[in-house]
Amino acid sequence: MNAPAKTLETTSTSTALPITETATALLPTPAELRASLPLSDALTSNIAHHRDAVNRILRGEDGRLLVVVGPCSIHDPSAAIEYAERLAHLSEEVSGQVVPVMRVYVEKPRTAIGWKGLAYDPDLNGAGDMAKGLALSRDVMHCVAERGLPVATEILQPMLAPYLDDLLSWVAIGARTTESQLHRELASDLSAAVGFKNATSGDVQVAIDAMQAAAHPHHRFALDAHGRPVTRQSEGNPHTHLVLRGGHGEPNYQARHVHAATTALRDAGQNPRLMVDCSHANARKDHRRQREVMLDVLTQRQAGENNLVALMLESYLHEGKQPLKPGALRYGVSVTDACIGWEATEHLVKTAAERLA
């Protein structure tokens, strides 16, 4: 893990501006939320072990396959915990060849409008009770980690990180934010491994640039544990990698794409080991095609492509997706991108373990 980042604090004598109550609502500070749901010494140790396992795979020191798998987004904590219990059991069965990490995505990127995730709208009704959303997000991640699973999420809002980052073993920076300086600086300050996705256009270079930026220390604006604005000096994150997710509706997981990406990574002096996102443009927006993407990647692995060290699957208890209609939701079905169901997930993960045995 990275050394703790240095925090430089300054004080101000200026008079605070009045806050309009109708426009704002107070949130707990990161320290308050962490105190309300703290990590035990045993859980802290387990998370450190999970991070180390992920990092060893990314460094090529562990030949197992990293599989980040789970719902496109979390909207029902009960269904998420049931999924975690199933995945924890499956993880024990395949642990010799596969390391499952559960997707616990509580933010969703939006190009226009739509539900932005559990952290923003936990009641699914547009009320925007973010204090409740933060608490629920931390609670779900805590429950998943307590079941022995590494936790993964995508961070969209940098202010959200100090509420949750002590629970995370892997972080995604998405295709729309990989080019963002703020997210590159944030990645440089995280202890968890970070996967940068290629741009929505399919451009891989922006992710390579992000990896280079995140490896370096930065002075960055941040909030401390008590919610005060501070300057933080990050240490740089050596545990970053590329995520191939396709672009403009075209896939980029096939052997020629992987070869081109690993060559570009080596030429830039970056880690050539990478992850393939089996969803999004790689599946041409068809969740059922995640299977063919994964099987192609496994075939490449068996043919000797050892830089393919990780996969991502969007999976839930039941297949498909549903419109967001509170009070009429089917249990265990995604309300964002369509997912494969549990039976298909279990089959694919076990197939990976068998092929890599």
The pLDDT profile of the chain, 357 residues, written as one tens digit per residue, is 444 444 434 333 334 445 445 568 899 999 999 999 999 999 999 999 999 999 999 999 999 999 999 999 999 999 999 999 999 999 999 999 999 999 999 999 887 788 999 999 999 999 999 999 999 999 999 999 999 999 999 999 999 999 999 999 999 999 999 999 999 999 999 999 999 999 999 999 999 999 999 999 999 999 899 999 999 999 999 999 999 999 998 999 999 999 999 999 999 999 999 999 999 999 999 999 999 999 999 999 999 999 999 999 999 999 999 999 878 999 999 999 999 999 999 999 999 999 999
Q: Are the C-beta atoms of 96 and 357 separated by less than 8 Å?
A: yes
| CB-based contacts of 221, cutoff 8 Å, min separation 6 | 229, 230, 231, 232
- Name the E strands within the chain: 6-8, 65-70, 98-103, 151-154, 170-173, 193-197, 219-223, 229-233, 240-244, 274-277, 308-314
| pLDDT, position 15 | 45
What is residue 157's three-state secondary structure? coil
Helix, strand, coil percent content, the chain, rounded in steps of 5 = 40, 15, 45
| Residue in this structure with the two tokens 């794409």, named with its chain if needed | 257
Strand 65-70 versus strand 308-314 pairing type: parallel
Nearest to 261 by CA among 277, 274, 246: 274
Strand 274-277 versus strand 240-244 pairing type: parallel
Q: Are the C-beta atoms of 103 and 71 separated by less than 8 Å?
A: yes
Nearest to 102 by CA among 53, 152, 156: 152
Quote the CA–CA distance of 117 and 130 in Å, as a whole number: 10
| CB-based contacts of 195, cutoff 8 Å, min separation 6 | 170, 171, 172, 173, 240, 241, 242, 243, 275, 310
Nearest to 348 by CA among 279, 274, 284, 253: 279
327 torsion bin: left (phi>0), alpha (psi -120 to 50), beta (else): left
| pLDDT, position 48 | 98
Helices 342-356 and 290-302 meet at what angle, rounded to 10? Answer: 10
61 exposure class (CB count in 10 Å sphere: 0-12, 13-18, 19+): exposed
- Name the E strands within 110-190: 151-154, 170-173
Nearest to 149 by CA among 203, 102, 116, 219: 102
| pLDDT, position 5 | 45
Q: Are the C-beta atoms of 169 and 154 separated by less than 8 Å?
A: no
| pLDDT, position 343 | 98
| CB-based contacts of 89, cutoff 8 Å, min separation 6 | none
Nearest to 178 by CA among 196, 164, 194: 196
Could you tell me how far CA 163 lies from the centroid of its own chain? 15
Strand 240-244 versus strand 193-197 pairing type: parallel
Q: Are the C-beta atoms of 67 and 311 separated by less than 8 Å?
A: yes
**Phi and psi at residue 23, to the nearest 5°:** -105, -10
Quote the CA–CA distance of 183 and 185 in Å, as a whole number: 5
Domain locations in the chain as residue ranges: 28-356
Quote the CA–CA distance of 67 and 356 in Å, as a whole number: 13
| pLDDT, position 326 | 77
Give the architecture (CATH level 2) of 28-356.
Alpha-Beta Barrel (3.20)
| pLDDT, position 22 | 54
